[in-house]
């Protein structure tokens, strides 16, 4: 299982009952053998350009763990799903993730050093 990030743009007319299309998205992911590790609703936002005659969409972000054949299954299903205006499914870059974590640790250590120097 590899880690992926999925951002889904859901049709804005479905904002009132968002749980129904989200349940459908979750079902597509789990039926392909994936696990959702994080879900974050970013809310309704204006699109940079019109998609299917819509100016707005509801953005929902997912962190996923997927088997090797799941991304193709998920992409094929999202392409024919009316609730989804657009989606972006990308593999997480493990090297970049580790580098960000190390950078955050260094910054935290530097901040601790500054605090101790100021106290003296």
Q: Provide the domain limits for residue 55.
A: 2-92
Q: Residue 16: phi, psi to the nearest 5?
A: -65, -40
pLDDT at 79: 92
Number of domain units in the chain = 1
CB 84 within 8 A of CB 10: yes
**Can you list the residues of the chain whose pLDDT is less than 70?**
115-120
Task: Name the percent of the chain lying above pLDDT 70.
Answer: 95
User: Is residue 109 one of the residues assigned to a domain?
Assistant: no
Neighbours of 14 (CB within 10 A): 17
Answering whether pTM is above 0.95, one says no
User: Is residue 38 one of the residues assigned to a domain?
Assistant: yes
Q: Which of 3, 1, 4, 2 is nearest to 88 (CA)?
A: 4
User: Is residue 28 one of the residues assigned to a domain?
Assistant: yes
User: Is residue 83 one of the residues assigned to a domain?
Assistant: yes
Distance from C-alpha of 66 to C-alpha of 33, rounded to nearest angstrom: 7
**CATH number of the domain bearing residue 12:** 3.30.70.60
């Amino acid at each position: 299982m590899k880690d992926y990030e999925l951002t889904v743009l859901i049709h804005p007319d479905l904002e009132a009952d968002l749980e129904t299309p989200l349940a459908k998205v979750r079902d597509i992911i789990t039926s392909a053998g994936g696990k959702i590790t994080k879900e974050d609703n970013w809310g309704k936002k204006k699109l940079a350009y019109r998609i299917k005659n819509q100016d707005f969409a509801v953005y929902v972000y997912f962190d996923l763990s997927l088997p090797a054949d799941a991304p193709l299954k998920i992409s094929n299903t999202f392409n024919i799903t009316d609730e989804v205006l657009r989606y972006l499914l990308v593999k997480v870059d493990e090297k970049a993730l580790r580098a960000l974590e190390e950078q955050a640790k260094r910054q935290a250590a530097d901040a601790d050093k500054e605090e101790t120097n100021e106290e003296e």
